[in-house]
Structure 1
Amino acid sequence: MASKRVVRKLSLCMILLLCLSGCWDSSDIEDISFAMGFGIDASDDEQEPIQLTTQVALTKKQGEQATAQQGKLFQNVTLKANSIHEMVRGLSLQLPYPILTDHLETVVINQDIVTDYDLFILLDELLRDNITRLSPSVVISAQQASDILATNIDGEITSDYISAFFTNETSTMKILPKVRVGDVTANLISGTSVILPKITKDKKTVKLDGAGIIRAKDNKLTGFLTDKEVEGVNWLTGEGAGGLLNFRDEKGNTIIYEIQHYKTKSNPHYKNGKLTFDVQITAQGWITEDWSLTSNNLSEKYVDKLERLAAEEVVKIVEGTMKKLQQDYKTDVVKFYDSFRIAYPRDYQKMQKDWDNYFADADVKYDVKIKIVNTGDLVKEGKPK
């Protein structure tokens, strides 16, 4: 009996050792090409009208073999074809290691390609691929996407660097929330217009610079917004994470208000074929900079004045943004359709296919209330504590 127990124990140990032997088909991480970014441009070849730049992270081994003399942490490979998938597979002819896209961080799309082609078509391969995630950020560029991804920033992989910008959304209202591949396609499938952050190459680096608008009518680029108008979009959607409001007093002195938190609500009204939105914006925050050097910066009267001036500035910003969206582009990227869909579901079903035109003709009224809860670490006389 004792010998049988010993045999059983030895057998169990052998089985456990086999389980701990690792994956038989595993690959060394240095023998894999990880795609970190895609750049999609228009090509000058009619037979191969699409150009795809793939940014691959270099491991130490690959860096040595790929001659990274400039200290780059990446290798870019640019191909031309008439389909995205063909170009992805074509990487096998130029890279000695299998290409994986499950670590993709950013997709940069040039304005020319998305002016000529449906954005949904350009992203179709990413959606069908069961390896590529739907989380990569999507940005648009006026410059060639290949030039954007070629930017060599010390110690950085460009596509990862771009994706990291969106962690700064609590610092400024001029940054849109990250727009992911899944977000874009969900909007396009539902027939709603899309706003994409715009990336620009600036000397030896890249930066966020406004946004591009993809209209629902044909899923193509219709125009751009400035960073100030992006600020207006964030105020109108309530999706910003915070930031600063820069306004002036009656003498032209600069005042800076830091937004602690804010809330936006759009209330739709639809009667006799006329669409109206009442937009209510409330915010709380504090004054972080005051160039007026007034000695009464803690007085109730002075705070009331700043709250009024700040509210007037917000109205000015959102009115300018809405003018561009309604008159120039006729696209609802501030998601007014959502509140209307909830309030008037049957009417929205009838209006959905032509929603952007209804949005363009709507009257919009604003009620902005700014609350200053703190004016900084100053005593009433304006002297430091």
Structure 2
Amino acid sequence: MRIRHKAKHLFLIVLCTAVMFLQTGCWSKDEIEDQSIYVGMGLDPASESRLEKQFRKEGSDYRKRKLLTYTLQIINVQSENQRGGGQTASSQKPYYNISETGDSMFQLIREFSTRMERPVIGHHLKVIVINERLARKYSMNELLDFFLRDNDIRPSCQVLVSKGSARGTMVAKDNTVIPSLRLYGLIDNRYRSLSILEPMTLSKLEGKMHGEQSYLLQNVIAADGEVKFSGSSIIKGKTQRLQGILNEEETIGSVWLMGNGKGGLVKSYHENRQPVVYEVKGMKSKITSKVAGDDISFHVSIESKGRLIEEWANTNETIDSAFRKQVEEATEKEVRRLTSLALKKVQKQYGIDVLGFGKQFSIQHPRKWEKIKDRWEEIFPEIPITVSIDMEITEYGAKITR
């Protein structure tokens, strides 16, 4: 019995020791204060900064082509330490931007080691912003290859396109905002606006690039230290280059056609030209394809339920079924206008299927798809597409109804 008790006691000691080694914790010998953590990056056409030019003038140069300028946004640890010490504000910005110009992403990142005492690490990278002109000139495969290979960079990182300087989207007016985190936060506001597309992460992009699929990327514009999501970029599947731009209304029309919006509003006008606003509480769309011999056609059915959230046309009267019907019809008319704008630009002007028609056709008619998939971009612009829209008002807020 005594031997058995000792064996049991020894087993418990070994087990506890093993559990201690398996506990999560920081195993790295590198303290966070000794790292330069970058949370955002911008890619622009080559444009050397004044500092880079001065370095080169002093003899700092190496073999490279000036293809692009790479900007990292790095957390200012000293500023954050001041805030953590109980100060409500800091005289320093909570971030700083550093740029290099060249032709190799990896080389540019390592080049920062010759300028900074703390090595840069990308474990917390949130957003990559690509300049529109750069996206037209180079494919996504070329621009993002390094980021997809680098184990330090998480595949959940979001990719955006800037209309103008990508570096400009990484500047804030005051000392309380980290611009890259601001961009990342805007993406989470999809439940508030139909202008914000479904997030495009590196992992999603990798699948689309390998499958040569066409898709939309969210556009961001910057002015005076402020940013705004406005419109989207059409990326062509075979080339993976930016082929065209959708404005804000065309982007919203695309969201309705894809049926993947989380929330937002539709503003229309009553018969007396007063605004009425429908708040989207839910939406869905269904793409149905039909084949008759060699003829192909599509029908998109869009359904939505929502709330009458604002109206100037009937403010002092109760809402009856007739008025509700008028508002529903006005809202349907507006959504039809938006979807028509999107189809005109996507299908007729660019002939690039970023809305998923080809994917649905391949599911519904796989044998026919195998015959035409290589010619899809030639066929798609000529295919008839009809749209039906059904909007239902289910809530009125505190307004009296009858």
- Normalising by structure 2, report the TM-score: 0.85
RMSD (CA atoms): 3.0
Deviation for aligned residue 1:335: 1.3
Amino acid at match of 1:281: I
Residue 44 to residue 347, structure 1, CA distance change in 2 (3 Å): farther
Aligned to 2:233: 212
Aligned to 1:335: 356
Amino acid at match of 1:74: Y
Amino acid at match of 1:198: N
Q: In the TM superposition, what are the counterparts of 1:177-216 in structure 2 within 5 Å?
A: 177-216=198-237
| Residues 255 and 289, structure 1, Cα contact 8 Å, conserved in 2 | yes
Aligned to 1:122: 143
| Residues 275 and 358, structure 1, Cα contact 8 Å, conserved in 2 | no
Distance in structure 1 (CA, Å) of the matches to 2:231 and 2:188? 16
Distance in structure 1 (CA, Å) of the matches to 2:18 and 2:297? 72
Aligned to 2:37: 34
Deviation for aligned residue 1:4: 11
2:368 aligned with 1:365, yes or no?
no
Residue 349 to residue 17, structure 1, CA distance change in 2 (3 Å): closer
The equivalent position to 2:347 in structure 1, one of 326, 329, 332, is 326
Aligned to 2:256: 235
Deviation for aligned residue 1:52: 0.6
Residue 122 to residue 299, structure 1, CA distance change in 2 (3 Å): same
| Residues 46 and 67, structure 2, Cα contact 8 Å, conserved in 1 | yes
Q: In the TM superposition, what are the counterparts of 1:1-385 in structure 2 within 5 Å?
A: 25-43=28-46, 47-60=65-78, 71-293=92-314, 297-380=318-401
Per-residue CA distance 1:217-239 (angstroms, 9 max, x = gap): 31111121111111101100011
Distance in structure 2 (CA, Å) of the matches to 1:353 and 1:100? 42
| Residues 79 and 94, structure 2, Cα contact 8 Å, conserved in 1 | no
Distance in structure 2 (CA, Å) of the matches to 1:306 and 1:26? 64
Per-residue CA distance 1:341-371 (angstroms, 9 max, x = gap): 1101233233334323322221111111111
Q: Which moved more, 1:30-39 or 1:352-361?
A: 352-361
Distance in structure 2 (CA, Å) of the matches to 1:19 and 1:169? 39
SS at match of 1:41: strand
Distance in structure 2 (CA, Å) of the matches to 1:251 and 1:61? 56
Amino acid at match of 2:139: D
Residue 349 to residue 61, structure 1, CA distance change in 2 (3 Å): same
Deviation for aligned residue 1:49: 0.8
Distance in structure 1 (CA, Å) of the matches to 2:90 and 2:5? 67
Per-residue CA distance 1:138-195 (angstroms, 9 max, x = gap): 1101211122213345422111110110111111111111111122221122111121
Distance in structure 2 (CA, Å) of the matches to 1:306 and 1:6? 77
Deviation for aligned residue 1:266: 0.7
- Normalising by structure 1, report the TM-score: 0.89
| Residues 153 and 205, structure 1, Cα contact 8 Å, conserved in 2 | no
| Residues 296 and 302, structure 1, Cα contact 8 Å, conserved in 2 | no
Gaps of at least 5 residues in structure 2 are 49-63, 83-88
Residue 299 to residue 50, structure 1, CA distance change in 2 (3 Å): same
Residue 159 to residue 13, structure 1, CA distance change in 2 (3 Å): closer
SS at match of 2:204: helix
Per-residue CA distance 1:62-97 (angstroms, 9 max, x = gap): 988xxx985311121101121111111212112211
| Residues 109 and 141, structure 1, Cα contact 8 Å, conserved in 2 | yes
Per-residue CA distance 1:278-313 (angstroms, 9 max, x = gap): 110111112111111255542112212221221111
| Residues 263 and 281, structure 2, Cα contact 8 Å, conserved in 1 | yes
Q: Which moved more, 1:218-227 or 1:54-63?
A: 54-63
Distance in structure 2 (CA, Å) of the matches to 1:245 and 1:17? 57
Residue 18 to residue 329, structure 1, CA distance change in 2 (3 Å): closer
SS at match of 1:354: helix
SS at match of 1:216: coil
| Residues 33 and 56, structure 1, Cα contact 8 Å, conserved in 2 | yes
Distance in structure 2 (CA, Å) of the matches to 1:121 and 1:193? 16
Q: Which moved more, 1:190-199 or 1:352-361?
A: 352-361
Distance in structure 2 (CA, Å) of the matches to 1:116 and 1:247? 39
Distance in structure 2 (CA, Å) of the matches to 1:355 and 1:302? 45
| Residues 295 and 380, structure 1, Cα contact 8 Å, conserved in 2 | no
| Residues 72 and 152, structure 1, Cα contact 8 Å, conserved in 2 | no
SS at match of 2:97: strand
Residue 14 to residue 41, structure 1, CA distance change in 2 (3 Å): closer
Q: Which moved more, 1:215-224 or 1:235-244?
A: 215-224
Distance in structure 2 (CA, Å) of the matches to 1:99 and 1:249? 57
Amino acid at match of 2:40: G
| Residues 191 and 353, structure 1, Cα contact 8 Å, conserved in 2 | no
Deviation for aligned residue 1:132: 1.1
